Each structure stands twice: as structure tokens, then as C-alpha cells.
Structure 1
Amino acid sequence: MSTEEFARRVGASDRMVSEWEARKDTIRLRQVNQAALATLLAGSAPDVHERFASLARSLGTVIPTQETPSPGPQSQQHQVRHPCDGKKMALVAAGTFLCGEKNEPVWPTSFYIDVFPVTNNDCARFVAATGHEPPQHWHRGKCPEVTLDHPVVFVTWHDASAYAAWAGKGLPTSPQWEKAARGTRGDTYPWGNNATPAKGNSRESGIGSTTPVSRYHRGVSPYGVYDFCGDTREWCSTRSEPGRYELKAGAWTSPFARATPAVFNDASMEMLDDDTGFRCVTPATVMAMLLAG
């Protein structure tokens, strides 16, 4: 690729890349640049790995004899139950991933994220424990049995934050949410780069409502997390401007083109609708202490 394209992929300036080339083995890269280069290499084809190994050997560099595998669904999955609300959470390890529509390298620390969005059943336990106002679409303050395993909707950012605080968690930042959805290599969708509306509940599904959170098995992310491309939009903790916060994912009301995890969206923190919900995160360090007792 060109110097300009290479610089964009690793989040550096054209001038910096030219300086790397000029200084060769005297250069000392910052950790974030090393991580971005390692991420690009991990996602490259086998012939690129072999060319890299050949060049490294020609420079007398000692390299591992076993090729580093590309991230995959099975190799990245590690799940536990949060001891406070009992929900399954998946580990997203620290490291660089390609973020946003420009695929810029970003380095979040390790965290756990809910495998499924917060459901009506989860919210019912929260309401019973705290006396929080139930969602407006529940009949007489109770959710219908048929939608207990659907994502909760008609929740403001304040409602989502209140649940997260009760559960001993937090709302994800926009980069945390996106990394859990896309993996590290800059894939367009949780499952790769092929546009496949059937792998999520968007407007094209024709269902016309939310669906059970565990329905779309073929649409899971590399970390085994569900519903990142449809069903509901999800609140994040990232503020876009005063009184407004980012939303991620498309929804059952959205066209599939708007379900791409990198797409920017935001709303007033007071907004509540029939296609907006949330999920929670916990720092890996906090989870370790909770599980230890």
C-alpha cells in the first residue's frame, strides 16, 4: 500500500512513516504504534505473515516458530457471570483495535461486556429491588410474559445509568462497545465484512418488533456477544455534546445500512423510544476482585 494509506491504517502521519523508513533499526516505536502494527499483521493473509518472517530472519531477528493466529470467535471467548445481577459477560482483552469509520487505532483496557442486552426480565428485577419507575409500555408496571427475554426499551440514558449503578457496572464507552462488536481487525460487521441482513433484526427482517436476545446465533461478535447489529440501539457513556450521549447499533426500526457498528449516532439523554435499550460493562480489574470474593 502507499505511504499515505499505511500511515492512515496505523494512526500515524505520513512524515512519521517516512522517518521510520529513514531511521530503520534505530527507531523506537511507541507502544500504541507497535500495537497497531501487530494488529495489522495479525489480520493479514498467510503470505504476508511468511514475507514478514522472511524479512525478520534476514535481519537476524528471532521470531516465534508458531504463527500467531488471527483473532477468531472461539479463540477470543471467555465468559463469566457477574455476581451482582447474574448476567453473562464476555471478556474483551486490552489491545489496539481499528475504530470508527476511518479505522483509526484505539487502545481500550480490558473489560467485560454483557453477552446480551439488558432484558425486560433483568429490568423487572431492578424495578422490584429499587422501586425505579418501570418502562411505560409495561401493563400496570409489569412486563408481558411473552417479551421477558426481549431487550428492554423505552429507557432514557438516566434509566440505563440507574440500572448499571444498581448492578455494580457501567455503560460502555463508544470505543468499548465498538471493539466488542467488531473485534480488532476493522471488520465492518461482527461476523466479518459481508452485508448479511439476516444476521440481525433490522427493518429488512420484516418482524416489526424486538426479538428474543439470543435469537441471532449467526450474528455474534468475535467475543460471542449478541445483537450488535439490530434489535435495539444501545446507550453509551460517551457524551457527544452537553445533554446528548452516543447510541450504538441499528434497531428493528432501522435500515440495515444504519446497523454498522462504526456509524455515529447520538440522542438527548431524555429520549426514550420503542427501539432503544442498553447493555453494561465492568472493568476486568473490578471483575477479578468481585470473583475473588
Structure 2
Amino acid sequence: MPLVTKWTGREVKALREAVRMSLMEFAERLGVSDRIVSRWEADGDQASLRMVNQAALDTLLAKADQDAQGRFVGILAADDVPAHTVIDPDDEQTSSGEYVKHPGDGKLMALVPEGIFLSGEDDDPVWVEEFHIDTFPTTNADYARFCAATQRSLPEHWENGRCPRELYDHPVVHVTWQDANAYAVWAGKSLPTAEQWEKAARGTTGRRFPWGDQKTAAKCNVRETGVECTTSVSRYHSGVSPYGVYDMVGNVWEWLSTPTMAGRYELRGSAFTSPLFRGAPAIVNDASETMRDDDTGFRCVAVGGPDKGWKSA
């Protein structure tokens, strides 16, 4: 389930839109007047809600169905950074995103424009064609739809053949490279190449981490954070990449399409089990294609777009 540490008018509006209620319906469900809800939404990030109201909103979010929770995450993600914003490569603090929904699996994807970026630990210039990348890692809810459609074996940590509700918006784990690639093919996408993934994480100017050069563990789910398990893919808003992509450091390692040798593929990004320094996007890890672990997942990429015809990369 998505986690909201502090409700403001911004999250209130996102939840009301996600559950598709009018002001009056939403207010009645919370036990407040519609004027109060309207004021919260008008005040946006500056709205200050009483603890009893925050608890009621926690409950309403928890009781929302999976689709509504997914819409809530998507609305907040799209609102976190202005759409259609031009990224200034000289501004190390800029986080921008242009989000679209892929027709294959319905996931939000962020645009990464064509061009050169500084790659690897030596910051070598590399050209990458334009592509879109999943804004969030593939979640348990995403993977459940794939398994239902393809009869693929379920991840071993799902209880009684079903994903625990509280893990719906956590990244799927216990998936092999073959599992991840099969999902990508089913969705009409691909696993990212090493160059695509690194550019989406670092931007163009060689920043060490998605958010800049600062070693700030609080911006991601790594060992120093002390969570010791996966978290909601939308939790770390301040850790997004220059293109508005979440969880490019920490939470779970991500499978890539780039092989290191026969039967082995690159992993990037580190996980909740890893120290922060291992999450620097330029650092390479790899594993056997048959490996499955509780800290390894994936996300996908696609080329083209709604106006050009989506294609796997």
C-alpha cells in the first residue's frame, strides 16, 4: 500500500481523484464538511490537517482497491514534477518528468530524450537514442496481472498463491532474468540496456546519484536507511532522477538486458540490503539469469511513444 508520512492538501486531492468521489462524497466518508476538504485542496502543500483527519485518510487509502491505489500513486507521480518541462543539463538540482501511460501494461513511463550523457565511473560520453522508461519498478500488482494472463509461476514469497495486500505497490522480487524478460515481452517492452538505465538514473552531466552528488541515504531504501525490507515504489519522492524516475537507487536490484557473459546479465541500482555506495548508477553488478532473490526486481523500457507507435527497445 502507498505510504503517506504526512497528509497535505496535495495528497488529499490525489486520493479523492483516485477513488473518483465528489467533494461531498469524499467529505462524508471522512466525517468532515465539504468546505474543509475544499480548503485543504486549495491550500495544497501548505494545508495542515489534524491527526484525526490524517488517520481517517490513512484508513480510506488502505481500504481503496488496487486500481485506486495505483491511480493515487500515478497522480502524485505526475504531479511531483511539471509535465513537458525542458531539462536544463547545467542544473544539477533539476528534477523534471514527462509521463505517459504504456498501452501494454498500463504503467506510467518517463521520457528520456536522445543525446549524449556521461557514462560509467570515468564519465565517458555515450550517445543514447530517445526512449521511455517505467517511472516505477514493476510492482507485485503489475506482476500479478502478468501471471494471471500468462499462467507464469508466482513468486515464492506470495502467500497461498496471492500477493499480500500490503505489498501490492512494492517491487516484485524473487524473479529471475527470464521472468523479467518474459514480463517485458508480454507488455510489449524490453528490459533496459545498461546505457539506457544509467542515463535514466544519472541524467546527462555525470551526477553520482539520481538526486546529485550528495551521499544522502534518506533519499532511498538502502542498508543505512534501516528499513530492512522493500518499500512502496513511490515512497522516496526526493530521490527521483533528473527525468522523474523513482527508486533508481535502493529498494531492489534491477535486471538489465546487457549480458556480461553467457547466462549472466547486469544488475544496477542496489537494494535495501546494500550500502549506499553500491547504489551509484555507474557501478555494475551481475548475476546468473536463473538467480532469484528477495532483493532483485526489474523495470522496462520502450521506444517510440503514443504518437509514434510503441515498440520494444
Q: Same fold (TM over 0.5)?
A: yes
Query: Residue 88 of structure 1 aligns with which residue?
Result: 108
Query: Residue 256 of structure 1 aligns with which residue?
Result: 276
SS across alignment from 2:308: helix
Q: 1:69 to 1:118 in 2, by over 3 A?
A: closer
Q: How does 1:80-119 map to 2 (within 5 A)?
A: 80-119=100-139
User: Percent of aligned positions with the same letter in both sequences?
Assistant: 57
Does residue 1:242 correspond to 2:262, yes or no?
yes
| 1:232 paired residue among 252, 261, 269 | 252
Query: Residue 178 of structure 1 aligns with which residue?
Result: 198
SS across alignment from 2:125: strand
| 1:145 paired residue among 165, 174, 182 | 165
Measure the CA separation in 2 of the matches of 1:284 and 1:81: 12
User: How many pairs align?
Assistant: 224
Measure the CA separation in 1 of the matches of 2:295 and 2:124: 29
Measure how far apart 1:113 and its partner are. 0.0
Aligned residues of 1:71 and 1:222 also touching (Cα < 8 A) = no
Q: 1:83 to 1:73 in 2, by over 3 A?
A: farther
1:161-191 CA distances to partner (integer Å, 9 max, x unpaired)? 0000000000000010000000000000001
Measure how far apart 1:79 and its partner are. 1.0
Does residue 1:218 correspond to 2:238, yes or no?
yes
Does residue 1:284 correspond to 2:275, yes or no?
no
Measure how far apart 1:72 and its partner are. 6.3
Q: 1:287 to 1:106 in 2, by over 3 A?
A: farther
SS across alignment from 2:287: strand
Measure how far apart 1:290 and its partner are. 4.0
Measure how far apart 1:76 and its partner are. 4.3
Measure how far apart 1:247 and its partner are. 0.1
Q: 1:134 to 1:81 in 2, by over 3 A?
A: same
Amino acid at match of 2:99: Q
Amino acid at match of 1:141: G
Measure the CA separation in 1 of the matches of 2:292 and 2:103: 29
Q: 1:232 to 1:256 in 2, by over 3 A?
A: same
Q: 1:94 to 1:132 in 2, by over 3 A?
A: same
Query: Residue 164 of structure 1 aligns with which residue?
Result: 184
Query: Residue 202 of structure 1 aligns with which residue?
Result: 222
1:185-206 CA distances to partner (integer Å, 9 max, x unpaired)? 0000001111101100001111
SS across alignment from 1:96: strand
Aligned residues of 2:89 and 2:205 also touching (Cα < 8 A) = no
| 2:99 paired residue among 79, 89, 97 | 79
Aligned residues of 1:73 and 1:223 also touching (Cα < 8 A) = no
Query: Residue 268 of structure 1 aligns with which residue?
Result: 288
Measure how far apart 1:74 and its partner are. 5.9
SS across alignment from 2:181: helix
Measure the CA separation in 1 of the matches of 2:306 and 2:180: 20
Measure how far apart 1:71 and its partner are. 5.1
Aligned residues of 1:181 and 1:261 also touching (Cα < 8 A) = yes
Aligned residues of 1:204 and 1:255 also touching (Cα < 8 A) = yes
Amino acid at match of 1:83: P
TM-score (norm: length of structure 2): 0.69
1:250-284 CA distances to partner (integer Å, 9 max, x unpaired)? 10000111111100100000000000000000013
Structure 1 vs Structure 2 CA RMSD: 1.7
Measure the CA separation in 2 of the matches of 1:268 and 1:214: 29
Q: Structure 2, unaligned stretches of length 5 or more?
A: 1-87
SS across alignment from 2:128: coil
Amino acid at match of 1:91: L
TM-score (norm: length of structure 1): 0.74
Out of 281-290 and 79-88, give the one that drifted further: 281-290
Amino acid at match of 1:203: R
Q: Structure 1, unaligned stretches of length 5 or more?
A: 1-67
Measure the CA separation in 2 of the matches of 1:151 and 1:217: 16
Measure the CA separation in 1 of the matches of 2:239 and 2:100: 20
